[in-house]
Structure 1
Amino acid sequence: MSAWSIGGRPMLRTASPEALAARDPLGMASFPLVPFSNRIADARFDWAGQSHAITRNFAPEPHAIHGIGWTSHWSVREADDQRVVLTLDHRGDARWPFAFAAEQIVELTPDTLTVTLTACNLEAFDVPLACGHHPYFPAACARLRFAAERRWPPDARMLPGDPVEIADREVDFAVAERALDCAFSGWDGAATIAWPDTALRIDSDVDHAVVYTPAGAPHFCFEPVAHLPNRLSVIVAPGASHRATMRLIAQPANVGA
């Protein structure tokens, strides 16, 4: 996704011409996370008694990151001014060993953007398979609020360290004042971003989130995801699916005050 604005006001980061020309997902407004989110340590994991090495795709880190959907070619199944359906058929390769079929549905109303990402297990056995979203939001004068049970500060290798209980479950801070790259568990599926001129509600059906607020950057991320980094904890049976919906709802500025 390259942009989303309401009345000329960007609600997501707008991709630059350079990012569009390069087809660089790290320069877009949002990209899909499937079949896992964040990092898998050293691009290796064990499953059903077998060790799997997958492609390292985020040099110079030794890890695999964000799954394969963000760098894959998706086919357009249908498209009009209000709704787009994209599909991805993955048969298993060095990037990810298990076959799955994924679908993105992007829907617009005058004040809402909804992205529904679904992945179906095409194997004849249980596999780890999860969906999530990686949106970028304008950082200038932004305030982020949400509720969660625990935060998981990263260690020196950018993998989750020991969890920290959030006493009152409330996370509330000005984005410019705190540099984070941290996972949260026990998220209640709702968050608010407030700017001086508008606000945005984020609703999702997953219960984890990753917050990335790089110091001095013009953007930040609040990522609805289904599991912690380096934890392939969402298991899907043959023929079954996992789904993650992200709904962004523009609201008056005083909603986030």
Structure 2
Amino acid sequence: MVEQLILTAGAARAAVAPALGGALTSWTIDGRPMLRTASAEAIAAGDPLGMASFPLVPFSNRIADARFDWAGETHAIAPNFAPEPHAIHGIGWTSDWTVQEARDDRAVLVLDHHGDARWPFAFAAEQQVELTADTLTVTLTARNLEAFDAPLACGHHPYFPAAGARLHFAAERRWPPDARMLPSEPVEIADRKVDFAVAERALDCAFSGWDGVASISWPDAALRIESEVDHAVVYTPAGAPHFCFEPVAHLPNALSVVVAPGATHRATLRLIAQAVSVGA
């Protein structure tokens, strides 16, 4: 059986699975899912794509053909999203995290990476999960353990219930994907507003110049999303019971966050329930 840490605060409950990529498997308030709840089958199979949310480190989204150049050297890393040839979402989501602290309303997980075929550079990551009666906060921090500047970024990949959902946020431009699911030319958003019913628009698209705030409304609940990063990926697969709004630090296929030796990068995901009407 997969170990899960159960956090509680008032009527709120969250569960974290350290061995499954340090992923959240659920977050509910009065029994109402605020994130997609991982199924028993997804947990048993160890499928990170079936979780409620998972951490993105040391990069988010895709690296084209699982290859990149850094400091005059070409690095080939393991593709991990067949049948695509790319590497995706870093390595945190497929790693076994260690529990450093576990309390009723807080858990701290750590991951030490020494460099391997999945990612060549060493780093140490820490994920703090904190729960209150109305807020779930996940703070992901990564420290560069190399003696040189290295690409290193944090982000989050939460899944939300799609039924009746409306998404709203502000950003400067969107980056539609090309046929290889990599960003094409950017499109300026004239009024900076992105506001749509999730069921009416199928997207898999990056946005830059995000102001760090988004909101989701359902007929029976509302949620505010906050983060200090300035990019986001929106994934609203047609007909699916879930969708994603992913706060990230860079565009797909762009290792643009560079961290000095011993320095850190951080990304916080704060989810604030503003209204929940159970049974409505």
TM-score (norm 2): 0.90
CA deviations on 1:153-181 (whole Å, 9 max, x unpaired) are 00000000000000000000000000000
- Out of 106, 130, 133, the residue aligned to residue 110 of structure 1 is 133
Give how far 1:238 is off: 0.1
Alignment match of 1:5 (pick from 28, 49, 52): 28
Contact 1:213–1:220 under 8 Å retained in 2: yes
Partner of 1:30: 53
Tell me the residue number matched to 1:144. Answer: 167
Query: Which one of 220, 226, 234 corresponds to residue 197 of structure 1?
Result: 220
Letter matched to residue 19 of structure 1: A
- The 2-side partners of 1:253 and 1:229 are apart by 34
Whether 2:197 is the aligned partner of 1:174: answer yes
Name which of 83, 92, 96 aligns with 1:69. Answer: 92
**1:39, CA displacement in angstroms?**
0.1
Q: Does 1:46 align with 2:69?
A: yes
Q: Is 1:159 the counterpart of 2:159 in the alignment? A: no
Q: 2:263 aligns with which of 212, 231, 240?
A: 240
Aligned match of 2:254 in 218, 231, 235?
A: 231
Please list the CA deviations of residues 9-66 of structure 1 after superposition, one character each: whole Å capped at 9, or x if unmatched. Answer: 1000000000111111100000000000000000000000000000000000000000
SS in 2 for 1:247: strand
**C-alpha displacement of 1:80:** 1.3
Q: Distance in 2 between matches of 1:197 and 1:14?
A: 17
Gaps of 5+ in 1: none
**Alpha-carbon separation, structure 2, partners of 1:251 and 1:196:** 13
Deviations 1:219-253 (A, max 9, x none): 00000000000000000000000000000000127
Query: Aligned match of 1:133 in 134, 137, 156?
Result: 156
Contact 1:195 1:253 in 2 (8 A): no
Moved over 4 A (4+): none
- What is the number of equivalent residue pairs in this alignment? 254
Amino acid of the structure 2 residue aligned with 1:17: A
Q: Percent of counterpart pairs with the same letter?
A: 83
In structure 2, how many angstroms separate the alpha carbons of the residues matched to 1:151 and 1:82? 37
Within 5 Å, give how 1:70-89 maps onto structure 2: 70-89=93-112
Partners of 1:167 and 1:178 lie apart in 2 by 19
The whole-number CA distance in structure 1 between the counterparts of 2:62 and 2:226 is 23
What amino acid maps onto 1:205 in structure 2? E
In the alignment, structure 2 segments of 5+ residues that lack a partner are: 1-23
Q: What residue number does 2:118 align with?
A: 95
- Report the CA distance between 1:81 and its aligned residue: 1.5
Deviation at 1:71, TM superposition (A): 0.1
1:222 aligns with 2:245: yes
RMSD, aligned CA: 0.9
SS in 1 for 2:43: helix
Query: Matches of 1:53 and 1:179 in 2, distance apart?
Result: 32
- 2:184 maps to 1:184: no
Aligned to 2:230: 207
Say which SS state the counterpart of residue 93 (structure 1) adopts: coil
